[in-house]
Amino acid sequence: MTDIVTRFAPSPTGHLHLGHAHSALFGWRTAREAGGRFLLRIEDIDPKRCRPEFERDLMEDLAWLGLTWETPVRRQSDHLDDHRAALGRLRDLGVVYPCFCTRKDIAAEIARAGHAPHGPDGPLYPGTCRHLDDSLRQARMEEGAAYALRLDVAKARGITGPLRWHDRARGWQEATPEILGDVVLARKDTPTSYHLAVTVDDHLQGVTLVTRGEDLFFATHVHRLLQALLRVEPPEYHHHALLTNERGERLAKRDQAKSLRSLRDVGLEPSAVRALAGFPNDL
Ligand code: GLU
């Protein structure tokens, strides 16, 4: 049997709240109960939103909560070469194209088309740059126009054929990555994206069981496709239910009242915060 390796992969864009504590404890507990290993990964590829002080604070908060993790901690921004290499392999397969659209262009195109397909997170990229003429692409790049790189999901599916993945809560899933459209693989400001970085890093870190909130359930369809294109073994998944507040609303980072630090500052003990995060038993 393979050893279980789980991870918690927060982005240092704010202070951790109870929802993060739930997710971290979920992964930590799962590893511990299986005699496995638990990793922490810092997902800091967004240079505008991530801050070193949030990284420091989140580690302090997790340690205060009673969690332990293996070192060294992988910080994504230190490993962009791994993401570039994977992107190169995808480019060689011909499933990546440059997209020069701004958010405004995309919104205008969606409004113009009148019937843009929608995914779980809103309207999908309408495909404006998918079939641009090569000479036009070249000219725009030479002009110095900023561009992201997108996955041509239909072409990619043509290469991999049908795929499936396993979720511990919901069982086997047929992969339907087209549900999120032609996702971004490298952003205009960073040579990677959430989807690419998470797929590459889970593989390179030897994660065998990805535990994360069910808000990322649909992203897994895309990750499965990327794994097949990159020819790496898929891990197993367990998407857990999200913690909600008294009104049944999902907790957000901006809800600072529920940050772990604020609970600590009003005198709560780690065990009380673990209980609020859905783990009432002793560690
Ligand atoms: N970094 C992501 C977040 O903070 C989580 C990524 C994952 O668990 O796959 O929402």
The yes-or-no verdict on residue 60 having pLDDT over 80 is: yes
3 state SS for the chain:
CCCCEEEECCCCCCCCEHHHHHHHHHHHHHHHHCCCEEEEEECCCCCCCCCHHHHHHHHHHHHHHCCCCCCCCEEHHHHHHHHHHHHHHHHHCCCEEEECCCHHHHHHHHHHHCCCCEECCEECCCCCCCCCCHHHHHHHHHCCCCCEEEECHHHHHHHHCCCEEEECCCEEEECCHHHHCCCEEECCCCCCCHHHHHHHHHHHCCCCEEEEEHHHHHHHHHHHHHHHHHCCCCCEEEEECCCECCCCCECCCCCHHHEHHHHHHCCCCHHHHHHHCCCCCCC
Range of the domain at 282: 1-78+243-283
* Per-residue pLDDT band at 254 (split at 50, 70, 90): low
> Same domain for 73 and 85?
no
Residues with beta carbon inside 6 Å of ligand 1? 9-11, 43, 198, 212, 216
23 assigned to some structural domain: yes
How remote is the CA of residue 106 from the centroid of ligand 1, in Å?
A: 25
Whichever domain contains 175, its CATH number is: 3.90.800.10
> Which residue has a Cα nearest atom 2 of ligand 1?
10
117 assigned to some structural domain: yes
> Same domain for 59 and 84?
no
> How does pLDDT run across 115-139, given as a tens digit for each residue?
778 999 899 999 999 999 999 999 9
> Same domain for 25 and 67?
yes
214 assigned to some structural domain: no
271 assigned to some structural domain: yes
> Same domain for 55 and 102?
no
> Same domain for 104 and 186?
yes
> How does pLDDT run across 172-220, given as a tens digit for each residue?
999 999 999 999 999 999 999 999 999 999 999 999 999 999 999 999 9
Number of domains composing the chain: 2
> Same domain for 143 and 72?
no
> Same domain for 101 and 85?
yes
> Same domain for 88 and 197?
yes
pTM of the model: 0.95
Task: Among 17, 26, 43, name the best residue to mutate to test ligand 1's pocket (greatest count of ligand atoms within 8 A of Cβ).
Answer: 43
